[in-house]
A and B are shown apart, each in its own frame.
Chain A
Amino acid sequence: MTRELVGEELAAHAERLAPGSVAKTTATACYLRPERAIEAFQALRRDSQTDLIHLTNLCGVDFWDHFEVVYHLQSFDRNHIGVFKVETWDREKAVVPSVMPVWFGAWMQECEAYDLLGIHFEGNTRQHRILLWEGFPGHPLRKDWLSMPGGLQPGLSEFAGTARRETPPVRVVED
């Protein structure tokens, strides 16, 4: 079974390898400071105890007031997986450092996050709108982009239209 590293373990590793790089820790994830993230990722990849050589998944999440970029990193030899996150709070100019120098294969997933969420990845030399065309208005995966045509609500009969997101929730996931 792949061991899922908990937030505290990840933070301990990150602090050991790059002191001062951890912004905060939750039960499942470790948040890194954007300016120190690349240094920490480099060290986490090289260190024999963490050995996070494979960037499995990279995606962005829009939380109305901020964006989170989620990194799922795993090790083949140690058979464990960990979740790191980097936050960016500027909606107009959302910038996070690119992990392309660490895991080369991240470039396509970063392009996707840039295209659909409008997060700039500083240092990604191949960043472009990968799925939509240049000049497409806006970034569709942002929560304020548009809802379903006709204002339809999902759900089944009496459940339809309840608990929808008319007002932006702030801090949706574990505080």
Chain B
Amino acid sequence: MSAIKSEPFILNIGPQHPSTHGVFRVRVSVDGEQIVDAEMVMGYLHRSMEKLAEERTYTQNIPFTDRTDYLSSMSNNLGYCLAVEKLAGIGVPARGDAIRVIMAEFQRLASHCMAVGAFANDTGAWQTPVMWSFRERENILDLFEMTSGARLTCNYMRIGGVAFDLPKDFVPAAQKILDSLPKFIDEIDELLSGNEIFLVRTKNVGVVSPELAANASLSGPMLRGSGIAWDIRKADPYCGYEKYDFEIPIGYRGDSFDRFSVRLEEMRQSVKIIRQALAGLPGGPHSTQVPLALRPPKGEAYARVEGPRGELGYYLVSDEGPSPYRFHIRPPSFINLSALREMTVGGTVADAIVVLGSIDIVVGEIDR
């Protein structure tokens, strides 16, 4: 049968494909059903934020950070403010820290709702899980609107604290959400984790060994799904995370299902953290006074937080000017893609969709 010659076929997944969650393209070479090569094409959403930030003051840059990872604006604000505070040596009052923790954890819940729902969508559980998780996410976004005035791009954190104190009816509203969320998490857990089709689609798909995870600079649920218990909230606590009692969920096989279940378990832990933070919410000021034209001393600072997608870091260099000399974001979903080829090659195209969903990319953050 030497007359039949087969050639790899190039297939574009994206730029506008539901599974890429934005404008992102993967050029896969397929040999029959099997993927032999995968090449990422990105930059459709590039806005050159790092250059723009060099021309604006430190406070003016906070809204930019909302627009990188638009599904977790609170965490982005927090990471950036921590970096500036580290650079300028600014402290945050206890109430400010507690509010930051509450907001960052609510943001993790909202983001993981999206991640879990969209992942189920990618595996073929069409629309029901994603609508259920949107229903829950909506309540959290209402809470953000109540506090900061915006649902998606909150711009709530400030250098030295947060923009406003919590509104009067925030705590009861938050309690109500916290009471209903565990029920939802259990519901979606039952719906998906026991579903045979879901298990067949996700188990042993996109396996990342712990060695590869560490070597490929992965972070967040990608790293923990592979069995490395590394969470910056525990390892390098910020905003008083050392005061709260929570656990780091890990997976053992490093496949797509493990990353999914790590996210679900993280949601349970987030609920636990918020309950503790609300119970021990200190009084006092929510922010320290910081000069509007902040000029941090010469130097550099790298601060990171555990964002919903992984280690979210900000590297700032100051030359004593009113704006950062260099503003670099360490975007977790960009770097989590570095092992995409290793994860997809050898599988089928349908598996590549599941792998992309399990990485939980946000294209605004990849391209910046």
Q: Which residues of A contact B (CB under 8 A)?
A: 1-2, 28, 53-57, 59, 61-62, 70, 72, 76, 79, 81, 83, 103-109, 112, 116, 130-133, 140-141, 145, 147-148, 152, 154-156, 159, 162-165, 169, 172-174
| Contact digits for B215-235, partner A, Cβ 8 Å, 1 yes 0 no | 111110000000010100001
Residues of A contacting B216 in the complex (Cβ-Cβ under 8 angstroms): 103-105
- Return the contact of B299 from the options A81, A141, A174 (Cβ within 8 A): A174
The 7 closest A-B pairs by CB, nearest first: A105-B217, A105-B216, A2-B236, A131-B43, A159-B293, A105-B338, A59-B328
A169 to B298, CA, bound (A): 13
Interface centre among A57, A112, A141 (most CB of B within 10 A): A57
Give 14 new A-B contacts, CB below 8 A, not counting A140-B48, A173-B317: A54-B214, A57-B302, A57-B328, A61-B326, A70-B315, A72-B313, A105-B215, A109-B335, A112-B334, A116-B50, A131-B367, A163-B320, A172-B325, A173-B298
How many Å from the CB of B62 to the closest CB on chain A? Answer: 14
Closest to A165 in B: B321
Whether B302 and A83, one on each chain, are in contact in the complex, defined by CB atoms closer than 8 angstroms, is yes
**B217 to chain A: which residues have CB within 8 Å?**
54-56, 103, 105-106, 109
Residues of A within 8 A of B236 (CB): 1-2, 79, 81
Whole-angstrom distance between the Cβ of A106 and the nearest chain B Cβ: 7
> Given A104-B216, A116-B50, A156-B57, does the pair A59, B293 have CB atoms closer than 8 Å?
no
| B253 CB–A CB distance under 8 Å | no
- Evaluate contact between B298 and A174: CB separation under 8 angstroms: yes
Say whether, besides A141-B51, A173-B299, A162 and B322 are in contact (CB < 8 Å): yes
Contact A154 B323 (CB under 8 A): yes
Which residues of B are found within 8 Å of A72, using beta-carbon distances?
A: 302, 313, 315
**Chain A: which residue is nearest B314 at the CB level?**
A57
Q: Return the CB mask of B270-300 against A: 1 if under 8 Å, else 0.
A: 0000000000000000000000110000111
| Residue of A107, A156, A169, A172 with highest tally of chain B CB at under 10 A | A172
- A79: shortest Cβ distance to chain B, in Å? 6
Complex contacts, B215 vs chain A, CB 8 Å: 53, 103-105
Bound-state Cα–Cα, A108 to B323, Å: 27
The closest CB in chain B to the CB of A55 belongs to B217
Residues in A neighbouring B317, C-beta threshold 8 A: 61, 172-173
Q: Does B319 contact A (CB under 8 A)?
A: yes
- Tell whether A173 pairs with B300 under 8 Å between CB atoms, given A56-B313, A105-B216, A154-B60: yes
Decide if B235 touches A2 in the complex (CB within 8 Å): yes
> In the bound complex, do residue B228 and residue A163 qualify as a contact, i.e. CB atoms below 8 Å apart?
no
Contact with A along B99-120 (1 / 0, CB 8 A): 0000000000000000000000
- Closest-by-CB residue of A relative to B237 is A1
Minimum CB–CB distance from B134 to chain A (whole Å) comes to 30
Which residues of B sit under 8 angstroms from A83, Cβ to Cβ? 302
Chain A residue with the shortest CB-CB distance to B367: A131
- Closest-CB distance, B347 to chain A (whole angstroms): 19
Q: Mark B248-284, 1 if CB is under 8 A from A, else 0.
A: 0000000000000000000000000000000000000
Cβ of B46 under 8 Å from chain A: yes
What are 13 inter-chain pairs, A to B, with CB distance below 8 A? A53-B215, A59-B315, A61-B317, A70-B315, A76-B235, A106-B217, A107-B338, A116-B50, A131-B46, A132-B43, A140-B51, A163-B322, A174-B298
A133 to B219, CA, bound (A): 28
Residues of chain B contacted by A59 (CB below 8 angstroms): 315, 326, 328, 330
With A55-B217, A156-B293, A173-B298 as given contacts, are A130 and B50 in contact (CB-CB < 8 Å)? no
B292 CB, nearest partner CB in chain A, Å = 6
Residue of B nearest to A109 (CB): B335
A107 to B330 Cα, complex, angstroms: 14
In this complex, the member of A79, A104, A148, A174 whose beta carbon has the largest number of chain B beta carbons within 10 angstroms is: A104
Contact A133:B43 (CB < 8 A) given known A104-B215, A154-B323, A155-B322: yes
In the complex, chain B residues whose CB is within 8 Å of the CB of A174: 298-299
Residues in B with CB closer than 8 Å to A145 are 51
Q: Is B360 an interface residue (CB 8 A)?
A: no
B343 within 8 A of A: no
